[in-house]
Amino acid sequence: MRESSLARFYFVVYVVLVVYASLYPLSGWRDSGGSAFAFLIAPWPRYVTAFDLGANFFGYLPYGLLCVLALRPRLRPAAAVLLAVASAATLSPALEAVQSFLPARIASNVDVITNVAGAACGGLAGAWLAPGLLEGPLRRLRAEAVAAGTAADLGLTLLGLWLFAQLNPATLLFGTGDLRDLFSGAVGERHTAELFVSVEAVTTAANLAAVALLASAGVREGAPVRRLVAALIVVALVVKTFAFAILMHAEHVLAWLTPGALLGLAAGSALALTAMRLPSTARLALAAALLMTATVLVNLSPPNPYFAATLKVWEQGHFLNFNGLTRLVSAAWPFAALVYLVYLASARLREPVR
């Protein structure tokens, strides 16, 4: 069994996301005056909801799974599972202790128990699934469709994060890089719906084409690149619809399918199909230019008149931390993708001419 750098990348990213989600909103720090670890011996919480138990359990389930996959085949299954559980039993109490300094968070021994239980179940699942994921059909599919090497695994990690960013219902379709809420909370001046349709169409088209070009850069020569990219876009639309179905009322499940989004999907698909015929370095440069253009538009765009009524029914509630997480990933993604594109382009330029 060969090592998987992709699993290691996803594990590192997931640990970062767990830390951010556990400490969100990262404001109002204060010293309670007592021990940060007093929660460990505190009485059982008076109110424990099934949602909280499930959120903590399933939040650490991927942690255990990815940890085991990242450790294989260096460690045997039993050792990998034990290390996954031990690391979760270290990380979870540490984060709960830090929560003691945040007024919006409550440190809980129940959270630690459910977190470690989730990591243990995820680790066992990872040990069971490792042969199939690392050596089975999925690995063969990856070998046949995606180029070998660490750079391609980094690209797959970025694409996974891009799909995750689509779970934020407050963004334009495929719109990433919005820094206004993250730093100032400012929004643009209100304009007519017609202007917003144009802005949304250009933003959607530019992002779609940029992601398609980024994805094509990691496809193995001879693989059906257009079908693979089309499948990626379809999955992203399914994820966006799923986000609206879970976070909004049922009647708003297709609220993202605005006139601007439809125009952007058509224009972006045509642009991507044409641009994928360009040489590899030109594709990378065009993807970077499109990403930055779309990011500027996202930050200058007027408020969304189509989402104004829809977002009124969005009660974040239990999803507050999760939505903060998707907003962070969405805001940071184009800048991480730009660094990756520059890295790929520089590597291509250094290759000897044949």
Crossing angle of the two packed helices 259-275 and 193-217, in degrees rounded to 10: 30
The yes-or-no verdict on residue 160 having pLDDT over 90 is yes
Q: Which of 142, 162, 190 is at the close of a domain?
A: 142
Same domain for 87 and 210:
no
Of 210, 214, 72, the closest CA to residue 147 belongs to 214
Q: Which of 121, 142, 163 is at the close of a domain?
A: 142
Same domain for 269 and 131:
no
Whether residue 85 contacts residue 116, with contact meaning beta carbons closer than 8 Å, is answered with: yes
| Strand ranges inside 180-295, DSSP E | none
Of 95, 90, 119, 80, the closest CA to residue 36 belongs to 95
Query: What pLDDT is attached to residue 137?
Result: 63
Distance CA 354, CA 344 (A): 18
For 189-199, the pLDDT digits (tens) are: 555 566 778 88
The yes-or-no verdict on residue 177 having pLDDT over 60 is yes
- What is the domain range of residue 105? 5-142
Distance CA 161, CA 166 (A): 9
pLDDT band of 313, cuts 50, 70, 90: very low
Of 43, 286, 4, the closest CA to residue 157 belongs to 4
Q: Which of 142, 164, 185 is at the close of a domain?
A: 142
For 32-87, the pLDDT digits (tens) are: 777 788 888 878 777 777 878 888 899 999 999 999 988 887 888 899 999 999 99
Beta bridge mates, 146: 219
Query: What pLDDT is attached to residue 307?
Result: 56
Same domain for 159 and 111:
no
Give the number of domains in the chain: 2
The yes-or-no verdict on residue 292 having pLDDT over 90 is yes
pLDDT averaged over every residue in the chain: 83
Same domain for 165 and 133:
no
Same domain for 164 and 43:
no
What separation in angstroms does the CA of 202 have from each of 21, 94, 197, 276? 32, 44, 9, 19
Same domain for 127 and 30:
yes
